[in-house]
Chains A and B, each alone.
Chain A
């Protein structure tokens, strides 16, 4: 079993829809949770960064962490065609090395 599981999609939604992206994990030591957005031929771009459980909102994006269920989510409200990209979840236990463990990514297409 992988440490981090992420539905690879592809996920296709109409413009304006609410998008829900999810990851599950098995390592209870993870404390830091991130979502990255990766456009084609570009590197991952940090979208959201949260510590421990709870919600964090930034504009149209909301990140949720449920450590009891080992489950994290990213919600995108009022999705736009410019949101079309691969979304990667990542997590770490913190500490000196801060090694990131990534999901495989979900490919999202927002149709105009």
Chain B
């Protein structure tokens, strides 16, 4: 399966600031996704990162808060904007290597907001 690298692996940030998380895959993939994993809760899909076009956001998530880029078939970024303590979470990138294949995940970015 594809090797998925996320950077940074963890960070502690001040409220009101923004952080960009990178997801790099070692091979071209068809689909890339961004999830949030909050303590005691299910993984929740934030958005699907579309190559060459705007991301598709799930209900409750907006582009102004979570802008996403996907400039090519191996790389995507998620920015968490104007952070508040409620944004403290694990953010995970996942990929599909082909249509109908299961998703594989990176190790996530552990984000704490003070």
Contact = CB atoms under 8 A, between A and B. Distances in A.
Contacts, number: 51
A79 to B, nearest CB: 23
B96 A98 contact: yes
Contacts of A36: 105
A34 B105 CA distance: 13
Interface in B5-46: 6, 31, 33, 40-45
A97 B94 CA distance: 13
Given A94-B100, A97-B56, A102 B42 contact: yes
Contact of A97 (B41, B48, B105): B48
B43 to A, nearest CB: 4
B45 A44 contact: no
State the majority secondary structure of interface residues on B: strand
A82 B107 CA distance: 18
Interface residues of A, number: 25
B48 A44 contact: no
B102 A4 contact: no
Contact of B45 (A41, A88, A99): A99
A94 to B, nearest CB: 7
Interface of A: 2, 4, 8, 32, 34, 36, 41-46, 49, 88, 90, 94, 97-105
